[in-house]
């Protein structure tokens, strides 16, 4: 009888010891995960310099008189007519695609741009590879972020002295729409924090 009681106690002691070791390992791993996540989120964002020629240079020159005065309405009118992927690439690069990068799970960043001019929307998409936006006409089904803007507003942004401030003002005035399509974790992983802040003047809301 005494031996049986001793054996039962030994079994419990072994189980408690195993649980204690498991708990310690779990706590250590949990703390490491927290430290890693905090370091990832708080580290200074990496930025890739992206150089794209302003697509309005030739139009501006053609609409500048000998006194150096620019016919801005004429520039905007012509640019809206000639609007193509070069305008979108320049606009996105100016707004911080250099902060965007591939994630292990979601791949390269993808953005969709809805140009809401007139009765029909013209939809473009852009894949960002090592900070460089590559735009094309057409819809996609794996976009991370959707930007809605008119061609005229986009051209005015490119013409502005401070494109970041112009876009913040445009957003606050309701002329620019931003929709986060991907989940928050994917947006974090691909580096959208700085770009979203530049577009809206706000931090990405974390639920």
Angstrom CA distances, 42 to 3, 38, 65, 126, stand at 58, 6, 50, 27
Flag whether 79 is in a domain: yes
33 and 67 assigned to the same domain: no
Are 163 and 71 within one domain?
yes
- The predicted structure's pLDDT at residue 40: 46
Whether residue 37 is found in the same domain as residue 99: no
* C-alpha span between 115 and 135 (Å, rounded): 13
Instruction: State pTM to two decimals.
Output: 0.75
User: In this structure, are 30 and 115 located in the same domain?
Assistant: no
- Position with higher pLDDT, 45 vs 84: 84
CATH number of the domain encompassing residue 61: 3.30.1050.10
Label residue 38 by pLDDT band (50, 70, 90): very low
Residue with the bigger pLDDT between 184 and 25: it is: 184
Q: What is the pLDDT of residues 186-199, one digit of tens each?
A: 898 899 888 888 78
Give the per-residue pLDDT at 200.
84
**Residue 48 belongs to some domain of the structure:** no
**Whether residues 186 and 135 fall in one domain:** yes
Q: Are 107 and 182 members of one domain? A: yes
49 domain residue, yes or no = no
**Does residue 51 sit within a domain?**
no
| Residues 38, 65 within the same domain | no
Residue 52 lies in a domain: no
Residue 50 domain-assigned (yes or no) = no
Q: For CA atoms 173, 177, 183, 186, give the dihedral sign.
A: negative
Both 100 and 124 in one domain: the answer is: yes
Listed in sequence order, the residues at least 6 apart from 67 whose beta carbon sits closer than 8 Å to its beta carbon are none
Q: Is residue 131 part of a domain?
A: yes
Task: Indicate whether 62 and 154 sit together in one domain.
Answer: yes
Does any domain span residue 205? Answer: no
Q: Pairing relation of β-strands 145-149 and 110-115?
A: parallel
80 shares a domain with 28: no
- Indicate whether 89 and 179 sit together in one domain: yes
Q: Domain check: are 85 and 179 in the same one?
A: yes
Give the pLDDT confidence of 96-144 residue by residue, as tens digits. Answer: 899 999 988 889 999 999 998 877 789 999 999 999 999 999 999 889 9
pLDDT at 184 > cutoff 80: yes
Total number of domains in the chain: 2
119 CB-contact burial (10 Å; exposed 0-12 / middle 13-18 / buried 19+): exposed
* Structural domain for 181, as ranges: 57-200
């Amino acid at each position: 009888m005494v031996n049986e009681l001793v054996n039962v106690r030994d079994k419990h002691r072994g189980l408690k010891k195993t649980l204690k070791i498991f708990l310690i390992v779990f706590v250590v791993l949990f703390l490491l995960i927290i430290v890693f996540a905090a370091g990832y989120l708080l580290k200074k964002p990496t930025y890739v310099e992206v150089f794209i020629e302003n697509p309005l240079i030739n139009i501006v020159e053609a609409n500048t008189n000998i006194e150096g005065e620019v016919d801005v309405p004429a520039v905007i009118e012509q640019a809206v007519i000639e609007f193509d992927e070069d305008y979108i690439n320049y606009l996105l690069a100016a707004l911080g695609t250099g902060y965007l990068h591939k994630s292990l799970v979601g791949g390269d960043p993808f953005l969709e741009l809805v140009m809401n001019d007139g009765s029909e929307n013209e939809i473009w998409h852009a894949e960002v590879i090592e900070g460089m936006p590559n735009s094309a006409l057409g819809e996609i089904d794996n976009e991370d972020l959707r930007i809605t803007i008119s061609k005229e507003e986009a051209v005015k942004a490119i013409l502005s002295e401070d494109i970041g401030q112009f876009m913040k003002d445009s957003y606050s005035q309701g002329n620019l729409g931003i929709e986060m399509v991907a989940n928050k974790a994917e947006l974090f992983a691909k580096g959208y924090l700085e770009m979203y802040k530049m577009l809206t003047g706000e931090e990405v809301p974390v639920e």
